[in-house]
Structure formats: C-alpha cells, structure tokens
Structure 1
Amino acid sequence: MIIVTGAAGFIGSGLISRLNADGFKNIIAVDDFSKIEKAENLEGKTIKEKVERSELFDWIDANSRDIEFIFHIGARTDTTEFDKEIFDELNVNYSKSIWQKCVAYQVPLVYASSAATYGLGENGYDDDETTLSQLKPLNPYGDSKNEFDIWALEQEEKPFFWVGLKFFNVYGPNEYHKGRMASVIFHAYNQIKATEKMKLFRSHNPEYKDGEQMRDFIYVKDLIDVCIFFMHHRKNSGIYNLGTGEARTFKDLVISTFNAMDKTPDISYIDTPADIRDKYQYFTEANMSKIRSIGYDKPFTSLEAGVKDYVQNYLASHSYL
C-alpha cells in the first residue's frame, strides 16, 4: 500500500492518477475529506481506502506491515495565512509524526518542502543542506517548511530512505479549488476568457521591466515524474530542489496562455499591492544540479508546451488529471 497525504489536493490527486496509471491500485488517500470543494479531484481514481487526516497515525500503527511508501504532500500552503499555530500543527508537528512513524516501521518517505523557504533569494536557490539555517522565508508558511527541513536533518534516527522536495511554482490540472492560491496560468485563463485581456503586476524594481519578473514554473506532471523517480530510486536521501532550472517571465507565461487560447495578447499592468510590495520576489530559479547528479535525466516540459497542454486539455474542458 502507498500512502498519499493531501490526496484530494492539487498535487496529491495528480500523483494518485499517475500511480494508478503505473499499476498501483492500493492507494491510501489521506486528507481532510470534509472539504467537499476538492472531491472532484479524486473522482475516477482507484483508491483502496480513504483515511481522515486526524486518524492517520492510528491507521499506520494498525497497518504498518503493509505500507510500502509514504508521499507526504499534504500541508497548509496559504502564504497569506499568518497564524503560526496553524502551521505548527499541520506543517511542522504533523510532519514530525509522519517521520517518526517512518522511522519506527522503516517506511521510505518523500515529503513536500517548498521554494518559499528561500525568501527573497538573498542566498541564492541552491539546495545546499548546510545553509538552511541562513534562509529567510517571507511568511509563516515558508518558515514552517524550513523549520521541518532543518529538524529532519538534525534527527539521529531517520527513515532508511527519505527525500524532501522544494517545490517551486507548480501549475497544472486539479487546482480548480485553490482560489486565489491557484497558479497565475489558472487566473490568466479565466481573466482572458472573461475579458480578452490580462492584467499583471507592474515592476517596482528598476532592474526589471513590467511583466519581466521571473519565476521557475514547473508543470505538475514533471513534478510527479520526479516523485515517482524517487519512489523507485530509494537512495541518495536528502533535500532537493524541484523546479525546471530555468526562470521565465510572467509576460512569457501570459503570452503562452493567450496563444494556447488562440487569442491575441493584450496585457496591461497594475501596481503591486502596497502590503506585499516589499516582500515581492522578482526572481526565482532552482539550481537543479543536485538531482541531476544522482541520475534524474528526464527533460522538463517547456513553459509553452506545459501551458498549451494545461489550457487545451484541462482548463478548456474543466477536466482533471
């Protein structure tokens, strides 16, 4: 059996789809299933059992012999939430409990960290485990992810195989429920569909022109490929970046969205809200040399190809991965 936490969410549900396609049917889906807005993400997927998030640890104790792997994808990911206690409970302490179960029963683990740990990128975007304590996340979400990464590395007792993946800007199908936290492509598609136009944040940094703020955008299917790679690889434990290694501009992204919709680009710019302006990232780019060095050699989908697939095969028909 393979456990997937955050199973009804954006990445977790896509991962289950891929596991099913690869022949894995004994999936234990863990989530807060009271959130009905995510229910459609699991429709049509083969799942052995749904386990409420709060009941997972008792379930693991009762079924430990049959657990082959844990993907801990679930987390509170809202970067606008500033109640530290929520992140302590769901991102830090819950993750510690999963880690401890993996140690106790020798279950391999892949968990989701985040590029939010890098803050404004003052120290670059290298997944060097010796520099984690120097990172300066911009919000409690990023703090919680970095806190757990540091804690994991400090543990004397570790699962025999474990990996933390620092997700960069992920986009793709199954994020319909995410509201304002959905990807810029999702919002661009809906804005263009409604108005034939798209508004982007103006640059308030003289080093960047309007629309040329840059992010490392990774298609969710590529991210899932890496998760599957580690499930089979089971060596070289540690913390890894997971982006494409190539930063692209928001303007590139929006033009790709217009093109995928077969519409003429019409982009205007609005001021970045004052309350987030001083914490706005102008550049993120994952250094992907570490994961390449252990044998992951699959190319990442280009922004243009990823946006086209997402828009034409999912958003246009409100389809799911």
Structure 2
Amino acid sequence: MARPIIVTGAAGFIGRNTVAELNARGENEIILVDELGKDEKWKDLVGLRYEDIVTPEEFLGLIEDGAFVNARSVIHLGACSATTEKDADFLVRNNYQYTRVLCNWALSNEIRFVYASSAATYGDGAEGYDDADAVTPTLKPLNMYGYSKQMFDLWALKHHLFNSAPDRSHETSGSNIVGLKYFNVFGPYEDHKGDMRSVVSKSYEQIRGTGEVKLFKSYRPEYKDGEQMRDFIYVKDAVDVTLHFALQPADAPGGLLNCGTGKARTWIDLATAVFDAMGLPPKIEFIEMPEQLQGKYQYFTQANDAKLRAAGYTKPFTSLEDGVREYIQEYYLRREG
C-alpha cells in the first residue's frame, strides 16, 4: 500500500495547486484536510485525484485513533490567512496550537513535516527579510495573523526542530521540519479568498469592470505612488518549492526558509503586466489608503533567498510578467472564453 501524503488546507489556494501538482507527478494517495463549508470552494477540487477528504477536527480524531502513521509527509497549509482577522484567540488556536499538534504527531511517527509560515512575520521590514535563525526572534509582525505564524516559528526554534541537534528536546530519531515563509503568492484558484486575493486577481477584475486599476497612494516620501515594492511569487513556483522539501525523507535537512523570488517589483509593474496580458494600455488611478492600514502597511518586501538556495532549491523563478501572463490568459481568459 502506498504511503499517503497529507495536505491540510487542501481546498485553499496553495493547497489546491499543491494537490494538482502531486497528481501531475503521479501521486494519488493523498489525504485532503479542509472544511468546504457552504460556499463554492468545493468546485476547485473537481478533477483532482485523492484518497479521502476530512475536516481538520475529524483529522485530529483519526490520528488520535492511530490512523495515517505510515504517512510519507504532512504538508500543512491550513490556516486562517486573513491579515485583518481580529479574533486573536481564534488565530492562536487555528494557526499555532493546531500546528503544534500536527507537528508533534508527525515527529513522533517520523513523518516529514512542511508547514506554511509567512512573510507577514517580518512586520514593516525594519529587521530586513533575512530568514537566519538568529534574526527570527527579533521580528515584530504588524498584525495578529503574522504573530500567530511567528509563534510557531519561535516554538520550533526553541525545540531545535529545524535541524538535528544533540540537545533537541523532542525525542525523535533526527526528524527535521521545514517552515516556508511565503511572500506575495498569486495564481489560479485564489478567487475564493475574497479580499485576501492577490492584487493580480483584483486588478483583472477591476480592468474587466471599469478599464482601470486602483492602487494605494504612498504615505512615505521615499516611495512614489505605486512604487511600493513586493516580492511577488507565482503559485507554481511556491508549490515547486513546497514539494521539493515535502517529498524528502523525514531526516533530510530542515529549516525556516523564505519562499520568494529574491526580486522586489513595484505595484505599477504588476498592474502593467496585467494590462499587457489583457492586451490593453495601462490606466492606473491612485487612491487613499484606509486609515486602519496606514500603520500596518509593508512598503517593501524582498526575500533573501540565500538560505533557500543553500538548502538545495536551485530552480529559477518565473518572472512577474511571465507568471501574470500565464495566469490571466490560461486561467481567466480561457475560462471565460
């Protein structure tokens, strides 16, 4: 019997694309963990091949009863990813405590564990975007979502779970885990995220409806309007990085790693790429930023990818223009055909 691969958040954005890529690689023995709810998220699973789908709560009950101990890996992408979520207790339970339970279970059964951290842990970037272990405790996230992700990063560091160490407190046979700090991921199947969708998705919708894109004005003199910068990563690359580490043995090297291209681009670059993909001239309007965002806005993000490269990921990343073109033309335009 094939050893299953467990994907949490499997009906989500990165999760759905991860399952599709596993299928493309011939992997069908997959356990999906997610809540489909009452919206249309289930439609994104149509056409995928997997063994079973269970809710997060059901999954906890199953592993308590001894299920899936022969799993090959856990790819833990399930979380509340809303940066505007105000319920701190909910975020602690969902993003931190649940992750601890899964991690401890995976380690005790020598199962590879890869989980989603976030570039939101870097806060305003005052400490840079270096994923070195010594830097992680100094970071100051700007919102509770980012802090809920940092909580687990810090717990894993405290217990030496990223690399084998003689003083590690968890009694395992040298299993390591991998945390991936996803930067600004964009691509197909993010529609259900609503306001948390990428600006690529939002821009396409705006252009289709009004012929123009609205971007936030800058409130810092060193950045002109629209020249705030982000590290945008195409979801296919984010999935490839994820599977590069998830499909390794449990005792393979681990680490807390940036998952970004290492190249910051402006919002104007992004909007222009969307217009180009749609065959239209750029038309951009700059609007006021909501007050609640003004003190919690990242003006610049750029992954330091040296540690990722040193960990063995060597493939080049898709350019912003190529990723946006494929996304718009192969997903939106073909679908609306």
CA contact (8 A) 1:64 1:105 kept: no
The answer to whether structure 1 residue 314 and structure 2 residue 318 are counterparts is no
| Corresponding position of 1:30 | 33
CA contact (8 A) 2:260 2:302 kept: yes
Distance in 2 between the 1:273 and 1:150 partners? 31
Structure 1 spans left out of the alignment, 5+ residues? none
| Corresponding position of 1:254 | 271
**Quick one: which of 118, 132, 152 aligns to 2:122?**
118
Distance in 1 between the 2:316 and 2:248 partners? 17
What amino acid is the match of 1:188?
S
3-state SS of 1:218 partner: strand
CA contact (8 A) 1:201 1:211 kept: yes
Greater per-residue helix proportion: 1
Structure 1 position 107, deviation (Å): 0.7
Structure 2 spans left out of the alignment, 5+ residues? 160-168
Moved more, 38-47 or 112-121: 38-47
| Corresponding position of 1:266 | 283
**Quick one: which of 165, 177, 182 aligns to 2:197?**
182
| Corresponding position of 2:163 | none
- Percent identical among aligned pairs is 47
| Corresponding position of 2:229 | 214
Moved over 4 A (4+): none
| Corresponding position of 2:21 | 18
The answer to whether structure 1 residue 141 and structure 2 residue 145 are counterparts is yes
CA contact (8 A) 1:258 1:265 kept: yes
3-state SS of 2:66 partner: helix
Distance in 2 between the 1:270 and 1:227 partners? 36
CA contact (8 A) 1:5 1:74 kept: yes
What amino acid is the match of 1:134?
T
Distance in 2 between the 1:35 and 1:107 partners? 32
Q: TM-score, normalised by structure 1?
A: 0.97
Q: Deviations over 1:1-31 (max 9, x none)?
A: 0000001100101000000000100110000
**Quick one: which of 223, 241, 247 aligns to 1:232?**
247
Structure 1 position 35, deviation (Å): 4.4
CA contact (8 A) 1:10 1:41 kept: no
CA contact (8 A) 2:216 2:288 kept: yes
**Quick one: which of 160, 178, 185 aligns to 1:170?**
185
**Quick one: which of 140, 148, 155 aligns to 1:151?**
155
| Corresponding position of 2:218 | 203
What amino acid is the match of 2:105?
K
Moved more, 32-41 or 106-115: 32-41
Structure 1 position 268, deviation (Å): 1.2
3-state SS of 1:164 partner: strand
**Quick one: which of 36, 48, 52 aligns to 2:51?**
48
